[in-house]
Structure 1
């Protein structure tokens, strides 16, 4: 570890892989989705459902799984701390923004109306 918290030989800008419940990678998701859909197909076949019913069940299951994955990824992004690039961009925006007092904003708007 260096004094800025990065591991030796690791770039600050390269994200580390995240493991655990919220760190689901796409290949792991695809394998899990195929497994879940195969269970739906087996359940439908053993239950004597028609091909149309089986297809509808698989499509509904796939949509629910995809929506859940989307929500999971969105939650991971929303909860993630800002990156150094985000902080640098925010600092640059603050430096480049013209400083205008609140009263001047309203006053210029009022003048433009008359």
Structure 2
């Protein structure tokens, strides 16, 4: 199955180069359809002029972003050198704690096709 998502330029480029292999998302209705073996097509933001296809190779579910960040290597998320607090604060600029509580969170490990 093909899923479509967007990524900001910095993270798109890191994924394209193979330096970012884990994408973090809410485990909302859209993400709950993702299965190992599926393909995700990322569109590069803000211009939306490039796409990148990756294969889903692993899925890990967590209750909170904090729990996820304590479990996974920051370098695989494109965040080498960040602190735990910076990761959590940055995530809460995108998602709210209420969304996190409602849906839980998902780490999607990918490989560029």
Give the structure with the larger strand fraction: 2
Q: TM-score, normalised by structure 2?
A: 0.19
Give the structure with the larger helix fraction: 1
Q: TM-score, normalised by structure 1?
A: 0.19
**Quick check: which has more Rg, 1 or 2?**
1
Higher relative contact order (CA 8 A, sep 6+): 2
